[in-house]
Amino acid sequence: MVYLVTGGAGFIGANFVKYLLKKHNDIKIIVLDNLTYAGNLGTIKEDLEDPRLIFVKGDIKDPEIVNDIFERYPIDYVVNFAAESHVDRSIENPQIFLETNILGTQNLLDIAKKHWSTGKDDKGYPTYKEGVKYLQVSTDEVYGSLGETGYFTEETPLDPRSPYSASKTGADLIVKAYGETYKMPVNITRCSNNYGPYHFPEKLIPLIIKNILEGKQLPVYGDGSNVRDWLYVEDHCKAIDMVLLKGRKGEVYNIGGHNEKKNIDIVKLTISTISRFMKEKPEYRKVLKKEEGDLSWICDELITYVSDRLGHDQRYAIDPSKITRELGWSPETKFEDGIVKTIRWYLENQDWVEEVTSGDYQKYYEKMYGSR
């Protein structure tokens, strides 16, 4: 099988590329990524040496580049991870979110349709090459925000609140439209918040880890009571692979691990885990950017409550029973294990953090949080 993985130099896309290379032998993967601030070749450095992987630097909105890829390689699957993905940035500058997330998706669909079409059926609908599929990687944020109870199912009405989630909803609707109007073989997956290695440190968990190691304050929005449903990234990758191979054409699948946590609890758990690591394994202390002392400064006093995010969604929680029932997927990594694995990965991969946060990141951080 030949995969076109867009956004494969970003957090989840890169983890997916690594997952595919480990799981399947006889594959070819074309990664298309234009390497925004969030995409880094360092993330797939070792994978680039694998002869099964080809990297193309380019924009998903660019018809020529995407067309050229389809002309050169017999693409079977398109898995679209490429997106502007950070809610806070979408509040600052919505336009690029609409351009990349909606128009980029439409461009990929158009070119896939052109190359996959084999003719027309008796009602005039296009017919397609056997076995091809377009999978849109979406988010639970398209469903809006929950109160204290209830879960998002695939039938929950779409109700996005942020420019980011509105753009992802727009993209989902375009994918659905191509599935209905042109009978294209498509799937949409809607996953909850991911965590794990290679997560860009503007998102909550890696940002908190980075700040603790630097002895900086930990910015918690509002009162810290917002709830997210966390899933280890490899479990997400496994679900996407299953939907590609076995998902029913045209269907939406929610992906989540029944693992709801309040932000403040995530922050406190990260502090206590790092503090424990530093005590148990003194060799980790070399990554601290602050004078170690007695390490008592690695404590909840680092937490600082800052102004709330505009339109901050209160709670996300996924009901994943459809993908469990139909495809046999269930999350394998318990949060207690996943968060320890993740924190250990960051302690052992500070070179990666430094590489991806040089330049643009500093400007963004200062704008968002000042020089705290």
Alpha-helical (H) ranges within the chain are 11-23, 63-72, 87-92, 94-97, 104-116, 163-181, 204-214, 233-246, 263-280, 321-327, 335-348, 350-356, 360-369
Using an 8 Å Cβ cutoff, are 268 and 230 in contact?
A: no
82 binds, among ligand NAD, ligand TYD, none (CB under 5 to 8 A by kind): ligand NAD
In the list 11, 19, 143, 232, the residue contacting ligand NAD (rule: CB under 6 A) is 11
Cβ nearer to ligand NAD, comparing 38 with 278: 38
Side-chain-side CA neighbours of 248 within 13 Å: the count stands at 8
Exactly one of 38, 53, 218, 240 binds ligand NAD (CB under 6 A); that residue is 38
- 211 contact, one of ligand NAD, ligand TYD, none, CB 5-8 Å limit per kind: none
- Cα distance between residue 323 and residue 343, in whole Å: 29
Of 220, 233, 317, 347, which lies in the binding site for ligand TYD, with binding defined by CB under 6 A?
A: 220
User: Angle at Cα 320 formed by Cα 311 and Cα 138, nearest 5°?
Assistant: 50
Query: Does position 338 bind ligand TYD by CB under 6 A?
Result: no
83 binds ligand TYD (CB under 6 A): no
Please report whether residue 210 would count as binding ligand TYD according to CB under 6 A.
no
DSSP states along 91-158: HH-HHHHIIIIIIHHHHHHHHHHHHHEEEE-TTS-EEE-TT-EEEEEEEGGGG----SS--B-TTSPP
Between 180 and 308, CB nearer to ligand TYD = 308
109 contacts: CB under 8 Å, gap ≥ 6: 134, 174, 175, 178, 184, 186
Going residue by residue from 171 to 200, which x/- string records binding to ligand NAD, judged by CB under 6 A? --------------------x-xx-----x
Report the partner that residue 13 touches, choosing among ligand TYD, ligand NAD, none (CB closer than 5 to 8 A by kind): ligand NAD
State the binding partner of 59 from ligand NAD, ligand TYD, none, CB within 5 to 8 A by kind: ligand NAD
Catalog residues that contact ligand TYD under the rule CB under 6 A. 87, 193, 203-204, 207, 219-221, 226, 228, 263, 309
Catalog residues that contact ligand NAD under the rule CB under 6 A. 6-7, 9-13, 32-36, 38-39, 59-61, 81-85, 100, 104, 137, 139, 168, 191, 193-194, 200
